[in-house]
Amino acid sequence: MAGDTLTSSEYIRHHLTNLTFGKTPDGSWAFAHDAAEAKAMGFWAIHVDTMFWSILLGVAFLYFFTRAAKGATTGVPNGLVNFAEWIVEFIDTSVRGSFSGRNSLVAPLALTIFIWIFLQNLMDLVPVDVIPKLSELLGIHFMKVVPSTDPNATFGMAIGVFALVLFYSIKIKGVGGFVGELTLQPFSSKNPVVNLLFIPINFILEFVSLIAKPISLALRLFGNMYAGEMIFILIAIMYNAGLVLGLFGGALQLGWAIFHILIITLQAFIFMTLTIVYLDMAHNEH
């Protein structure tokens, strides 16, 4: 495997380890040399590869859509402008179908989420050994190129959405209205004494439902993309070990890549759609 020096388990561990920068046990700050050292760095460690690729892809998104916006004319659009207009119309249709309030932030946010996550997921189609091998030539021993396979990235995006949900829930309904949603439903009674007894039950149920929103957003994206990456790695191991040969090995990779394109797009769409739905719920009274 990987230069004929790694076992299958070492190969998998190597490809699933982030380039981590953090505080070492001796108090200095440095890059981790293995997975165990990266784990020992704790909460304040930074996954440099996740940060690098997610920011790079975000900049690429902004660059191409800015070019498309500047190139838009009243005439027949060129390829880039036509593609951008198609994406914007698709997002606009999705927002109109799922969001009943009035908020100029929702459509740009939905566009950003869909394209950014799609680009992050798309990196999973890069052959698993290409960028890690190039990184090793530069002296970088670990390089994960799919940010959405890192739970830090998926939870970061989900927490950002959750913060907006909380902000608009309080802004639209007021503190009293938001607290009322958490304490006066789903169980209620015309008897005030019975209502007081229902408040802690309602709060537990509604609080769990509220917290489940960012957790489900993050874990759904992470789980699907992590599983897809694992399958690519396992196919590479079988190919390197001679368990799949020649054209069959290539066909196996190609077949999974084609199927994975659907997963890549679907996961970006689901994250975007749930974001729109959660913000719509924040704008509406129950």
pLDDT in tens, 165-215: 999 999 999 999 999 888 888 888 787 888 888 899 999 999 999 999 999
Contact 115, 61 (CB under 8 A): yes
Which helix (H) or strand (E) is 21 found in, with range? strand 20-23
Average pLDDT, whole number, for the chain?
Answer: 88
Supply the DSSP symbol for 20: E
Q: pLDDT tens digits, residue range 71-90?
A: 777 666 677 888 888 999 99
Q: Please state, as a whole number, how many other Cβ atoms lie within 10 Å of the Cβ of residue 16.
A: 16
Active site residue 240: no
Q: Which of 209, 216, 240, 284 is catalytic?
A: 216
pLDDT band with cut points at 50, 70 and 90 for residue 273: very high
Rounded to 5 degrees, φ, ψ at 33 are -95, -15
Place of tokens 């892809």: 57
Active site residue 224: yes
- Rounded Cα distance between 148 and 125, Å, is 13
Over range 123-127, report the average pLDDT: 89
pLDDT at 3 over 60: no
Using a pLDDT cut of 90, give the percent of the chain over it. 53
- Rounded Cα distance between 145 and 138, Å, is 15
Active site residue 96: no
Q: Which residues contact 69 (CB under 8 A, 6 or more apart)?
A: 84
Q: Which of 188, 224, 240, 284 is catalytic?
A: 224
